[in-house]
């Protein structure tokens, strides 16, 4: 007789997997990738270490899924801003503000996702995250160019430059040893917005 897993058993396995993934994510948010040792993840999730390896073959594979999960959520937020009503300039500014503001509010996790050294397997997912973000900005830029709000640049290249610029500007302030307050964070977001907008609009005036 062939064993068939019941719906309840399948749900329990999925719930356990989700609990382990959340435990790992929380540890990274507290102490970076070094904090997400498999035995620590297992203890926080309330499971045996071997149980973690039932779902992920290595720590790198688990960390790669953390990046994928977080990046999917963050890209969704930026995409929602990109697709919202408003002029291309307003949406570009809003998307940058949303990303930078959220990164600064969850700075330890953001630093791990964006900049902390990782295994090649995790880096591959991180690069895909940046590509998805750039695609969101490319859509805004492409429309803005068509409407005359931005100068005629290659929107894919310009979008990659914008993502690179605001991520680089965030790395220092997000670093664990760096402590900044709300006022400094607001100033940083404002300066990132102004730079990226100036780079996009060029010497012309922003148009609706």
SS3 letters for the chain?
CCCCCCHHHHHHHHHHHHHHHHHHHHHHHHHCHHHCCHHHHHHHHCCCHHHHHHHCCCHHHHHHHHHHHHHHHHHHHHHHHHCCCCCHHHHHHHHHHHHHHHHHHCHHHHHHHHCCCCCHHHHHHHHHHHHHHHHHHHHHHHHHHHCCCCCCCCHHHHHHHHHHHHHHHHHHHHCCCCCCCHHHHHHHHHHHHHHHHHHHHCCCCCCC
Please state the rounded mean pLDDT for residues 93-112.
96
Question: Which overall architecture, per CATH, does domain 7-56 show?
Answer: Orthogonal Bundle (1.10)
Residue 59 above 90 pLDDT?
yes
Please state the rounded mean pLDDT for residues 145-168.
95
Q: How confident is the model at residue 200 (pLDDT cuts 50, 70, 90)?
A: confident
Question: Which overall architecture, per CATH, does domain 59-201 show?
Answer: Orthogonal Bundle (1.10)
Q: How confident is the model at residue 80 (pLDDT cuts 50, 70, 90)?
A: very high
Residue 161 above 60 pLDDT?
yes
- Taking CB atoms within 8 Å and a gap of at least 24, the contacts of 98-106 are 99/74, 99/133, 99/166, 100/166, 100/170, 100/188, 100/189, 100/192, 100/193, 101/185, 101/189, 102/74, 102/77, 103/170, 103/174, 104/170, 104/173, 104/174, 104/180, 104/185, 104/188, 104/189, 106/29
Q: How confident is the model at residue 207 (pLDDT cuts 50, 70, 90)?
A: very low
Residue 203 above 70 pLDDT?
no
- pLDDT of the residue at 77: 97
Q: Where in the chain is the domain with CATH 1.10.10.60?
A: 7-56
Q: How confident is the model at residue 9 (pLDDT cuts 50, 70, 90)?
A: confident
Q: How confident is the model at residue 85 (pLDDT cuts 50, 70, 90)?
A: very high
Of 99-103, 111-115, 178-182, minimum mean pLDDT range: 178-182
- pLDDT of the residue at 206: 44
Q: Are residues 78 and 68 in contact, defined by beta-carbon separation less than 8 angstroms?
A: no
Residue among 172, 61, 67, 65 at smallest CA distance from 129 = 67
Q: How confident is the model at residue 95 (pLDDT cuts 50, 70, 90)?
A: very high
Write the CB contacts of 69 (distance below 8 Å, at least 6 apart in sequence): 21, 25
Q: How confident is the model at residue 61 (pLDDT cuts 50, 70, 90)?
A: very high
Read off the pLDDT of residues 163-188 as tens digits, 9 standing for 90 and up.
999 999 999 999 987 667 889 999 99
- Mean pLDDT (the chain) is 92
Q: Where in the chain is the domain with CATH 1.10.357.10?
A: 59-201
- pLDDT of the residue at 10: 79
Please state the rounded mean pLDDT for residues 23-47.
97
């Amino acid at each position: 007789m062939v064993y068939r897993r019941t719906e309840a058993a399948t749900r329990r396995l999925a719930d356990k997997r989700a609990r382990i993934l959340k435990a790992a994510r929380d540890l990274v948010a507290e102490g970076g990738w070094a904090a997400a040792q498999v035995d620590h993840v297992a203890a926080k999730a309330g499971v045996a270490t071997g149980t973690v390896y039932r779902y992920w073959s290595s720590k790198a594979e688990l960390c790669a899924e953390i990046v994928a999960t977080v990046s999917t959520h963050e890209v969704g937020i930026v995409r929602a801003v990109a697709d919202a009503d408003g002029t291309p300039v307003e949406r570009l500014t809003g998307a940058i503000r949303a990303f930078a503001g959220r990164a600064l509010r969850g700075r330890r996790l953001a630093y791990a996702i964006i900049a902390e050294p990782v295994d090649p397997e995790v880096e591959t997912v991180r690069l895909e995250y940046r590509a998805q973000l750039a695609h969101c900005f490319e859509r805004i830029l492409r429309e803005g160019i068509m409407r005359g709000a931005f100068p005629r640049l290659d929107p894919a290249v310009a979008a990659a430059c914008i993502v690179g610029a605001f991520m680089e500007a965030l790395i220092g302030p997000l670093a664990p040893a760096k402590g900044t307050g709300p006022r400094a964070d607001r100033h940083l977001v404002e300066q990132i917005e102004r730079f990226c907008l100036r780079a996009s609009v060029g010497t012309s005036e922003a148009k609706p």
